[in-house]
Amino acid sequence: MQSLENHFLIAMPTMQDPSFKQSVTYICEHSETGAMGLVINHPTDFTVGQLLEKIDLENDKTCGSTRQLVFAGGPVDTDRGFVLHSTKYGFTTSSALSDQIMITTSKDVLASLTTEQSPDKFLITLGYAGWGAGQLEQELQQNAWLTIKADPSIIFDTPAHLRWEKAIAMLGINLSMLSHQVGHA
């Protein structure tokens, strides 16, 4: 099995599940026991500032990061938050996913977001996408997803509404040429 950690899953144009339609999912973990990822291009109408207020974290309301949108990371545990961020150590539950991307689930990263201790770049999701053992591999065989190594600039620097198209463009594929038919040699 080839691990897809630090890769994007790009939904095929035929994907109709509202949680994944035209989605780009960053895969955080992938092993024989299953996979976990965060959808990075489905913003909610909930801002970082509203999230910080809701969980009673003091924050600088004048800081631009309070206007960033929180993303729907997937249909599982939608009340649980995840912060993908540029490399910055010192938070309680951080894990490096690549040289340029970390994930943190502890409240201390949220408390830092309007301070000088904040990671340079971040994206917050509520919920995650999860697959059981062999489920993701089966979906790949059914032609539900395209895959490519993750590019941090798509996560952190590309507007959310352009991430799906930009991820597909990384593959050098013309959207009009994609088919929902599966072929095997």
Instruction: Let me know if residue 107 belongs to a domain.
Output: yes
Instruction: Let me know if residue 157 belongs to a domain.
Output: yes
Looking at the structure of the chain, the number of domains it has is 1
Query: CB of 88 within 8 A of CB of 102?
Result: yes
Per-residue pLDDT tens for 137-154?
A: 999 999 999 999 999 999
Does residue 185 carry a pLDDT above 50?
no
- Please list the residues that pair with 30 across neighbouring strands: 35
| Containing structural domain, residue 154 | 7-177
CA angle 178, 184, 185 (to 5 degrees): 120
CATH assignment of the domain containing 170: 3.40.1740.10
Instruction: Let me know if residue 184 belongs to a domain.
Output: no
Six-digit token pair at 128?
């995650």
Give the pLDDT band of residue 178 (cuts 50, 70, 90).
Answer: low
Per-residue pLDDT tens for 22-63?
A: 999 999 999 999 999 999 999 999 999 999 999 998 888 889
Q: Which of 134, 108, 181, 148 is nearest to 4 (CA)?
A: 148
Instruction: Let me know if residue 113 belongs to a domain.
Output: yes
Instruction: Let me know if residue 103 belongs to a domain.
Output: yes
Instruction: Let me know if residue 185 belongs to a domain.
Output: no
Does residue 181 carry a pLDDT above 60?
no
Query: CB of 98 within 8 A of CB of 6?
Result: yes
